[in-house]
């Protein structure tokens, strides 16, 4: 079949008009230029310099040089027919000390990026915090300190004030579970602390930051669409034993319900507070109302399913860090991540598109009336490039297709799902794994910074042009 025929072929699974077809990145993972135009330092700049924190000692000083190459990158997005692009704003680029003075040159970069996207007909989706906390705020206590949430609201208001006339879709904090529990309990991510009780405070303050920022932005411009962003997993017990059922309750509790109940019901689940050893709770009067102010949408990042056991000493977590860390599962450290024996990506994450369908249906049933967006979904594989940089990556293509099928089935079954963003637009700095894991639709040669769309990217572009998938539902 020629490309032309493929393009005009009517899809069997058509997505609704207005569905956002996108790809996602984050500032620290792609921008580089860490010392340019007045950018301050973030906790990740500090963390990558500490021996043993990141695989092979990689850092993101240059990353994929997006700060200088953004024009060509946006052109590439247009060539791939993307309708939407989700990126994050670097807090230390905009506000070098994390409080007070705003750096106009930092804001200018995002103004130029947004303008470039709009000229090419790509809808910008801005995330305000994707883990790059200004170092001075960490020095003052970091996310376990309540003041950090207040500082975030000021920063969010400054960015929203500058870009709100051109950007409609906003999200506050990306994956508060990771920022809190990988950052402050396991220490796998910056700032690398292993203080479980502090991690719980961090989680609360990240949610409070979301709520305070939402209120500040709404006061500025009621027309903006604002969402929270959570990473959710399907969770199953390994067996039906009482210990495994309890393990599944705990992991679902801390990973999913803790954040969903706070954002969408205004309370923390009582059983999770018990697990955390905080039966009385820790929120101050009024916090939960701030956190649960109505959302315009909920952004969901989905990668995998956890199959867990309550029997200690079972298999280690498939998502374990590349370097020595503690457990992120505060209060449930005994739980083991056994897996279900499904095929895995290069991260060791089991591939389970059915889990995405399950989560979307659950959200629509248990937390109704909030529009949903899949804001990250994708897979790392050990790509092999030919001499021209071309990558044949059927594994990534199959992964994305299976998850898009799950999205389509959910929409068919009544879920208000409004968009899908592949993670990631291009290969980039994968946190503690450095450049060792490639999630991109587009290959980046890290020596030359040359970008080459992989086969999965070309397939995704055709799918977008067609507005849906070829091949009937199962």
Residues known to be catalytic: 175, 376
132 binds ligand FCB (CB under 6 A): no
Place of tokens 């059927």: 394
- 3-state DSSP assignment of residue 397: helix
* Integer Cα distance of 460 and 393 in angstroms: 12
338 near 305, Cβ under 8 Å? no
Q: Which lies closer to ligand FCB via its Cβ, residue 116 or residue 175?
A: 175
Total number of residues binding ligand FCB (CB under 6 A)? 12
**Going residue by residue from 150 to 189, which x/- string records binding to ligand FCB, judged by CB under 6 A?**
------------------------xx--x-----------
Q: Which residues have C-beta within 8 Å of that of residue 234, sequence separation ≥ 6?
A: 304, 305, 306, 352, 354, 355, 356, 358, 359
Q: How far is CA 301 from the centre of its chain?
A: 5
Q: In this structure, what are the phi and psi dihedrals at residue 52, rounded to the nearest 5 degrees?
A: 85, 0
Q: Which lies closer to ligand FCB via its Cβ, residue 206 or residue 411?
A: 206
431 binds ligand FCB (CB under 6 A): yes
Q: Which two tokens stand for residue 330?
A: 């505060």
Which residues in 353-382 contact ligand FCB (CB under 6 A)?
376
Q: In this structure, what are the phi and psi dihedrals at residue 344, rounded to the nearest 5 degrees?
A: -120, 160
Which residues in 292-331 contact ligand FCB (CB under 6 A)?
301
459 binds ligand FCB (CB under 6 A): no
Helical H runs in 330-423?
353-366, 394-412
Closest approach, Cβ 179 to ligand FCB, in A, equals 10
Closest approach, Cβ 102 to ligand FCB, in A, equals 25
- 3-state DSSP assignment of residue 4: helix
Of 69, 204, 47, 42, give the one whose Cα is nearest residue 130: 42
Single out the residue of 20, 21, 26, 189 in contact with ligand FCB (rule: CB under 6 A): 26
Closest approach, Cβ 303 to ligand FCB, in A, equals 7
Which residues in 198-237 contact ligand FCB (CB under 6 A)?
231
42 binds ligand FCB (CB under 6 A): no
Closest approach, Cβ 423 to ligand FCB, in A, equals 5
417 near 15, Cβ under 8 Å? no
Q: Which lies closer to ligand FCB via its Cβ, residue 400 or residue 409?
A: 400
58 binds ligand FCB (CB under 6 A): no
Is the Cα torsion angle 47, 51, 53, 54 positive or negative in sign? positive
90 binds ligand FCB (CB under 6 A): no
Q: Which lies closer to ligand FCB via its Cβ, residue 24 or residue 469?
A: 24
338 binds ligand FCB (CB under 6 A): no
> Could you please report the per-residue DSSP string of 399-440?
HHHHHHHHHHHHHHTT--EEEEEEE-SB----GGGGGG----
Closest approach, Cβ 328 to ligand FCB, in A, equals 12
Closest approach, Cβ 23 to ligand FCB, in A, equals 12
* Contacting residues toward ligand FCB, per CB under 6 A: 26, 29, 174-175, 178, 231, 301, 376, 423, 430-431, 439
């Amino acid at each position: 079949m020629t490309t032309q025929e493929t393009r005009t072929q009517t899809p069997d699974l058509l997505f609704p008009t207005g569905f956002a077809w996108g790809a996602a990145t984050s500032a620290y993972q792609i921008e580089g230029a860490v010392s340019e135009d007045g950018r301050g330092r973030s906790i990740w700049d500090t963390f990558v310099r500490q021996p043993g924190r990141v695989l092979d000692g990689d850092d993101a000083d240059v990353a994929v040089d997006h700060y200088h190459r953004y024009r060509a990158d946006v052109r590439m997005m247009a060539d791939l027919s993307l309708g939407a692009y989700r990126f994050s704003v670097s807090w230390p680029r905009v506000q070098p000390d994390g409080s007070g003075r705003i750096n106009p040159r930092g804001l200018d970069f995002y103004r130029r990026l947004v303008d470039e996207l709009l000229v090419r007909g790509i809808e910008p989706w801005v995330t305000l915090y994707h883990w790059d906390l200004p170092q001075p705020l960490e020095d003052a206590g970091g996310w376990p300190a309540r003041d950090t949430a207040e500082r975030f609201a000021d920063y969010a208001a400054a960015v929203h004030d500058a870009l709100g006339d051109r950007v409609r879709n906003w999200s506050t904090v990306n994956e508060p579970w990771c920022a809190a529990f990988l950052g402050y309990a396991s220490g796998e991510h910056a700032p690398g602390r292993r203080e479980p009780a502090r991690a719980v405070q961090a989680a609360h303050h990240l949610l409070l930051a979301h709520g305070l920022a939402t209120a500040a932005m709404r006061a500025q411009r009621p027309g903006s669409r604002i969402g929270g962003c959570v990473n959710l997993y399907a969770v199953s017990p390994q067996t039906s034993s009482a210990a495994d059922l309890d393990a599944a309750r705990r992991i679902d509790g801390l990973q999913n319900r803790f954040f969903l109940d706070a954002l969408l019901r205004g309370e923390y689940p009582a059983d999770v507070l018990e697990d955390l050893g905080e039966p009385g709770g820790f929120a101050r009067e009024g916090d939960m109302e701030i956190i649960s102010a109505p959302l315009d949408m909920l952004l969901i990042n989905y990668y995998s399913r956890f199959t867990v056991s309550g029997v200690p000493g079972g298999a280690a977590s498939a998502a374990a860090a590349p370097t020595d860390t503690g457990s992120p599962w505060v209060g449930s450290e005994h739980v083991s991540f056994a897996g279900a024996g499904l095929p895995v990506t290069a991260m060791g994450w089991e591939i389970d598109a059915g889990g995405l369908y399950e989560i979307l249906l659950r959200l629509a049933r248990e937390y109704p009336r909030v529009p949903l967006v899949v804001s990250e979904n994708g897979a790392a594989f050990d790509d092999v490039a030919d001499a021209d940089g071309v990558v044949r990556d059927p594994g990534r293509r199959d992964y994305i297709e299976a998850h898009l099928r799950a999205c389509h089935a959910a929409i068919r079954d009544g879920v208000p799902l409004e968009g899908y963003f592949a993670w990631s637009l291009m290969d980039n700095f994968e946190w503690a794994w450095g450049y060792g894991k490639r999630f991109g639709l587009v290959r980046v040669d890290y020596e030359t910074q040359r970008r080459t769309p992989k086969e999965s990217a070309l397939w995704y572009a055709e799918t977008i042009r067609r507005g849906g998938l070829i091949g009937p539902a199962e």
